[in-house]
Structure 1
Amino acid sequence: MSSIYSKTDNDLIITRINQLTPESKALWGKMTVDQMLSHCQAPLDFTFGHTPMKANFIMRLFGKMLKGKVFNSNEFKKNSPTAPAFIRTAHYDFDQTKNELIQKIEVFSNLGKDAIKTTNHPFFGELTYDEWSKMHTMHLDHHLKQFGV
């Protein structure tokens, strides 16, 4: 599995992002390509400490029960549930949003584990740096596959 902290791995992700065009269509789901690019930034922003989020007790309990299943997998399932704060329904400037996502991915290449400002996930609870890496790379891969790149 690739690492969000690896420049080499991130360069491969960025190459895939650069294959997207404003006309790219989803193979599943409802998002447009610009919405997906914005959506992919949301978990990164949370990790950087820019987007505080909390889950209620029931969701945290449910998340802790699912944590092993999610992290023992190598991909997210199609049409998996999304945190309400990460849902995108507006439209965004494609080039600007794409460049912002690339810049945020590069933060991990440049700072490594120091990019992570919180280790407490609102749904899964406390995550290790390796679990954060796996979750971010799985999420990015999931949505890039969604758009055929």
Structure 2
Amino acid sequence: MSLLVDTANRDTLHTLLLKLTADTKPLWGKMTPQQMIEHLIENVQYTNGTLIPICRRSPEEALEAKQRGLNPDVQIPKNLFLGDLPAEYAYLNLPASVTRLMADLELFDRYFKTNAMAIHGGFGPMDYNEWIIWHSKHFTHHFRQFGLIEGDI
């Protein structure tokens, strides 16, 4: 699988995000567009110093999960259920959420200018390049979910 969404290319990323409307229906799953963006915001905030992550796996389990998770041939499955969706939005509207996500990605870049690692909740410590791979894979999954990009998943 090629990573179709390069989170390091912010202009292209922002252009794709601007295709979303509040009425965009997912091709699978229960998220609304704003819930998806807010989900990505939270995930990025764990990598930019805003939120403090904890990995509850042993180092061996985390390394195995990281190797699988960063493997470009292993895709994130559709309808992966990781908990209930929030009842309310954290941000006023979809454009505000997109703006926050783009700002948090800039904070991510700044964070890694002075920090070598950020913890992933399931993969353990990851460096900037590993996070770019993971964020790109994660964004690709959700952008396919909402039809922003095409391709099998």
TM-score norm. by structure 2 comes to 0.76
Give the secondary structure class of the aligned counterpart of 1:120: strand
> What is the total number of aligned residue pairs between the two structures?
142
The aligned counterpart of 1:147 is 146
Give the secondary structure class of the aligned counterpart of 1:53: coil
The aligned counterpart of 2:35 is 35
Alignment root-mean-square deviation, CA:
2.8
Contact 1:39 1:87 in 2 (8 A): no
Q: Distance in 1 between matches of 2:38 and 2:10?
A: 18
Unaligned runs of 5+ in 1: none
Contact 1:108 1:115 in 2 (8 A): no
Are 2:66 and 1:67 aligned?
yes
Q: 1:103 to 1:57 in 2, by over 3 A?
A: closer
The aligned counterpart of 1:128 is 127
Q: Distance in 2 between matches of 1:64 and 1:103?
A: 30
Q: Distance in 2 between matches of 1:90 and 1:33?
A: 13
1:76 Cα offset (Å): 2.1
Contact 1:40 1:140 in 2 (8 A): yes
Q: Higher helix proportion, which one?
A: 1
TM-score norm. by structure 1 comes to 0.77
Unaligned runs of 5+ in 2: 149-153
Q: Distance in 2 between matches of 1:32 and 1:138?
A: 20
Residue type of the alignment partner of 1:65? E
- Tell which has more relative contact order, 1 or 2 (C-alpha 8 A, sep 6+): 1
Q: 1:117 to 1:17 in 2, by over 3 A?
A: farther
Identity of aligned residues (%): 26
Give structure 1 regions of 4+ aligned residues with deviation exceeding 6 angstroms: none
